[in-house]
Amino acid sequence: MHVPDGFINAPTSAVTGVLAAGAVAVSLRGARRELDERTAPLAGLVAAFIFAVQMLNFPVAGGTSGHLLGGALAAILVGPYTGVLCVSVVLLMQGILFADGGLTALGVNITDMAIVTTVVAYALFKTLVKVLPRSRRSITTASFAAALVSVPASALVFTLIYAIGGTTDVSIGKVATAMIGVHVLIGLGEAAITALTVGAVVAVRPDLVHGARGLEQRLKLRVNGELVDAPDTAGAGPAVPVAARASRRTFWITGLVTSLVLAGFVSFYASADPDGLEKVAADQGFDRGAEEHAAADSPLADYGVRDIEDARLSGGLAGVIGVGVTVVAGTGVFWTVRRRRTADRTGAVSAAANTDV
């Protein structure tokens, strides 16, 4: 659902740009509370994974394809504030390097694909988790439902934005019906991908899933016929933290390799049909407002490497480059936010100590 330049007029694009910038600023502050030494590297990996999976368009109906938006997945794995930043990093990389999603429409895309999907999905996810039994299956079920709803919600918001600032005179009612209808189908694919990914991570490392925090129950031991809490082994010695770090490293490497394989190899078999927005725009006639992308001459435009004739090699190499750039950019952002959190805590402790003196 990457909105190109020219679909939305300049004033509306500017307003959504301001809204997106404000949301990103709020998310940067909120992410300080979500990120720690475990989740900062994971957040960069989540951004790279979303980039990779967005290359895998899947067929839905009537010559239309869909792809992951990623807001629900990011919010559940690393938290809603960090989730907004993850998807925003992906959209920025796609717009600048791959000419996917207009640069003047970046505010529209962040508002629609990062903010709306994350907020809607996480709110529904948290509501469902509260009423469902505390189990891994409930986390997966809530992830499926939250992702499913987030996609047509994003389609509805795009329709509202187009009603305000669309550059072509079309029937908004028909646009809304077509957009929501096709994106309900796309939402099923989004839900399946999100639930499978969250379920897989929860199965091996539930401690790394933001939405599953508090799911683990304290181990019980039977002593003299009574169940008591097992002793905390966190301070048992250096072997526990070393093992935990090794496990996180293995998890991170596995996730990165998976992302590289998806973007570099599996993406070649993705559907070539237009995605939901492209199809609706063509059917309803507002695609004629689209303008040439400012980065259309990029060496990586349209997810191919210029001057490489072999389509498989060109697309695969572009995907690998995209994953690499996204994981580096995302990890850099999240480690910076993490260090800022540490600096804030250090400053607060120092101020408290000076006050006591």
| Domains of the chain from N-terminus onward | 10-214+270-356 (1.10.1760.20)
Q: Residue 238's pLDDT is what?
A: 38
End-to-end CA distance of the chain: 57
For residue 12 the two structure tokens come to 């509306």
Q: Residue 37's pLDDT is what?
A: 78
For residue 215 the two structure tokens come to 């799911």
Measured between alpha carbons, how far is 63 from 60 in angstroms, rounded to an integer?
8
Q: Residue 230's pLDDT is what?
A: 46
Q: Residue 207's pLDDT is what?
A: 86
Q: Residue 62's pLDDT is what?
A: 83
Q: Residue 236's pLDDT is what?
A: 39
Instruction: Write a three-state SS string for the chain.
Output: CCCCCCCECHHHHHHHHHHHHHHHHHHHHHHHHHCCCCHHHHHHHHHHHHHHHHCCCEEEECCEEECCCCHHHHHHHHCHHHHHHHHHHHHHHHHHHCCCCCCCCHHHHHHHHHHHHHHHHHHHHHHHHHHCCCCHHHHHHHHHHHHHHHHHHHHHHHHHHHHHHECCCCCHHHHHHHHHHHHHHHHHHHHHHHHHHHHHHHHHCHHHCHHHCCCCCCCEEEECCEEEECCCCCCCCCHHHHHHHHHHHHHHHHHHHHHHHHHHCHHHHCCCCCEHHHHHHHHHCHHHHCCCCCCCCCCCHHHCCCCCCCHHHHHHHHHHHHHHHHHHHHHHHHHHHHHHHHHHHHHHHHHHHHHHC
Q: What global pTM score does this model have?
A: 0.88
Q: Which residues contact 45 (CB under 8 A, 6 or more apart)?
A: 252, 255, 256, 259, 327, 330, 331
Measured between alpha carbons, how far is 352 from 357 in angstroms, rounded to an integer?
9
Query: Is residue 34 within 8 Å of 174, Cβ to Cβ?
Result: no
Measured between alpha carbons, how far is 176 from 197 in angstroms, rounded to an integer?
30
Per the listing, tokens 């909105």 go with: 3
Q: Residue 244's pLDDT is what?
A: 52
Measured between alpha carbons, how far is 53 from 267 in angstroms, rounded to an integer?
8
The tens-digit pLDDT sequence of the chain (357 residues) is: 899 999 999 999 999 999 999 999 999 999 999 998 778 889 999 999 999 999 999 999 889 999 999 999 999 999 999 999 999 999 999 999 999 999 999 999 999 999 999 999 999 999 999 999 988 999 999 999 999 999 999 999 999 999 999 999 999 999 999 999 999 999 999 999 999 999 999 988 888 899 998 775 544 445 566 655 445 443 333 333 444 555 778 899 999 999 999 999 999 999 999 999 999 999 999 999 999 999 999 999 999 999 999 999 999 999 999 999 999 999 999 999 988 766 655 554 454 445 555
Measured between alpha carbons, how far is 343 from 243 in angstroms, rounded to an integer?
27
Please work out, in degrees rounded to the nearest 5, the angle formed at the alpha carbon of residue 38 by the alpha carbons of 190 and 112. Answer: 30
